[in-house]
Amino acid sequence: MRMSRSPLLPLLAAVFGLAAPAAAQEKPVLTVYTYDSFAAEWGPGPKIEAAFEETCACDLNFVGLADGVAILNRLRLEGATSPADLALGMTTDMVPEMKASGLFAPSGVDVSKTVVPGNFRDDTFVPFDYSYLAVMVDTQSGAAVPTSFDDLVNGDPSQKIAIQDPRSSTPGLGLMLWMKAVYGDEAAAKWKQLSNRILTVTPGWSESYNLFTKGEVPLVLSYTTSEAYHVIEEGTDRYKAAAFAEGQYVQVEVAGRLTGSKNPELAARFLAFILTPEFQNVIPTTNWAYPVIADAAPLPEAFAALPKVEKPLAIDPETVAANREAWTAEWLAAIGR
């Protein structure tokens, strides 16, 4: 019993010291919460960081979280103490909820020239790319490519799909809304049916896409543009995006700056930077999504072969905000047992 507790305290302090972000730096640090595939070394993060740091005399720091919805959850938990200046990677579906949270400050960016499906316009959130949700199929697995939602729901239950949790992930939330847009009140019953085909529900897009590319699962919820990634980066047409007769759900991704930011002007400059070609031209072949400005560089050839989306589907964000909790509970009850 002679040991004293005191030697532990410096050790703990050492951890704290390590844990605390380096404070005494000359350049201001701009912290951006995003999803992990955006911040990853092969994602758009490093290129955008390099381009912005050339002009800003600052240190841009992307922090990758599980997925888009998790960003909002995290900001809510941290409240006013959040170290983040900006958040990037939520979707327009979440905008009313985000505005009601009071966490975000007006962007000060003119978004009137942006080109996105549904003509999203907002004074707080800046759209940075858009894409269409799609089920990706590994054609070497022997799984049939579904041509409609009914096809997917009624398909061979031994051919599994990996999806994402709508409580943490934007494509997961998108799928929930997509089902609602297609099936309305029947959505819960269809989820129950689909649950026979669900291999796993992951917190973010990366985990499920990882399972898909590793061959653990033949179908995954992703985007039509994922097909272009495999063609351009891997030179293979093994993976196909399934075009659904009912139409594809649109996902417009947005960024916003936080009221608690210690660098509000720098944050506003970053939001403006989003709508420049330096940012936008990085998007198609790193984030594998469509740019939102008219004068972006032409898209690579592989994009032309992607499924044409004739019927972009979306649910009015106000309706989403009013029903998200109830719909999530309905989803949970339908796919849990």
Partner 1 sequence: MAGGDRALSPAGTVRRGAAGGAEARDRHVRLGLGLAASLLLAGLLGGAFLVLLLTSDAVPDPLAVLADPYLRAVTGFTLLQAGLSALLSVAGGVPLGLALHRTRFAGRALVLRLLLLPQVLPVLVGALGIVAVWGFNGLVSDALAALGLARINVYGLAGILLAHAFFNLPLVARMVVGALDGVPAERWKLAGQLGLGRLATFRIVEAPALRAVLPGAFGLVFMLCATSFTLVLVLGGGPAASTLQVAIYKALSLDFAAGNAVALCLVQVSLTALVLLALSRLPGREAGGFTLGAAPRRYDRPSRLASAADTAVLFLGLLFVGAPFAAILLGGLGSDLGPLLANPAVHRATLTSLVVGLCAASLAVLLSLALLAAGRERPGSAFEIGPSLVLVVPPVVVGAGWFLVLRQVTDVYAAAPYVVVATNAAMSVPFVTRIVGPALAAAHAGQDRLARSLGLFGLARWRLVDWPAARRPLTLAFAFAFALSLGDLGAIALFGSPDFQTLPFLLYQRLGSYRSTDGEGLALLLGVVCLALMLLAERGAAPSVRRPLA
Assess contact for 231 and 225: CB atoms under 8 A: no
Q: At what angle do helices 187-194 and 170-183 cross, to 10 degrees?
A: 120
Q: Tell whether residue 326 is a contact of partner 1 (CB under 8 A).
A: no
Q: Which is nearer to partner 1, 19 or 304 (CB)?
A: 19
> How crowded is the C-beta side of 189, counted as CA atoms within 13 Å?
6
Instruction: List beta partners, residue 161.
Output: 198, 219
Q: Is 77 in the site for partner 1 (CB under 8 A)?
A: yes
Q: 99 vs 272, which CB is nearer to partner 1?
A: 99
**Min. distance of Cβ 300 from partner 1 in angstroms?**
19
Return the amino acid letter for 38: F
Give the C-alpha separation, 131 to 250, whole Å: 6
DSSP β-ladder status, 86-91 and 248-258:
antiparallel
Q: CA separation (Å) from 309 to 88, 110, 222?
A: 25, 28, 15
Of 36, 93, 97, 227, the residue at the interface with partner 1 (CB under 8 A) is 36
Q: How many residues bind partner 1 (CB under 8 A)?
A: 58
Q: Choose, by CB under 8 A, the member of 32, 34, 37, 314 that binds partner 1.
A: 37
139 binds partner 1 (CB under 8 A): no
Burial class (CB in 10 A: 0-12, 13-18, 19+), 200: middle
Does position 1 interact with partner 1 (CB under 8 A)? The reply is yes
Amino acid code (one letter) for 201: V
* CB closer to partner 1 out of 64 and 127: 64
Tell me, residue by residue from 225 to 264, as one string, x for binding to partner 1 by CB under 8 A and - for no binding.
----------------------------------------
Determine the Cα–Cα distance for residues 52 and 49; give it in Å rounded to an integer.
5
Where does 36-173 show beta strands of DSSP type E?
59-65, 86-91, 104-105, 126-138, 161-164
76 touching partner 1, by CB under 8 A = yes
18 binds partner 1 (CB under 8 A): yes
Which region among 159-167, 175-183, 260-268, 306-314 touches partner 1 (by CB under 8 A)? 159-167
CB 161, CB 197: distance < 8 Å: yes
Residues in 189-218 that interact with partner 1 by CB under 8 A: 195, 198-207, 209-210, 213-217
Asked if 20 is part of the footprint of partner 1 (rule: CB under 8 A), the reply reads yes
For partner 1, the closer CB: 167 or 269: 167
Cβ proximity to partner 1: between 114 and 159 the closer is: 159
* Residue type at 112 in one-letter notation: S
Among positions 105-124, residues that touch partner 1 (CB under 8 A) are none
311 scored as a contact of partner 1 (CB under 8 A): no
- Quick one: three-class SS letters along 154-207? HCCCCCCEEEECCCCCHHHHHHHHHHHHHHHHHHHHHHHHHHHHEEEEECCHHH
DSSP assignment, residue 225?
T
Q: Report in angstroms how near the CB of residue 165 gets to partner 1 at its nearest.
A: 6
Of the pair 177, 268, the CB lying nearest partner 1 is at: 177
Using rule CB under 8 A, residue 93 touches partner 1: no
> Which is closer to partner 1, CB of 162 or CB of 254?
162
Residues of the shown chain interacting with partner 1 in the complex, contacts defined by CB under 8 A: 1-3, 5, 8, 11-12, 14-16, 18-21, 36-37, 40, 42, 63-64, 69-70, 73, 76-79, 81, 158, 160, 165, 167-168, 195, 198-207, 209-210, 213-217, 328-329, 332-333, 335-337
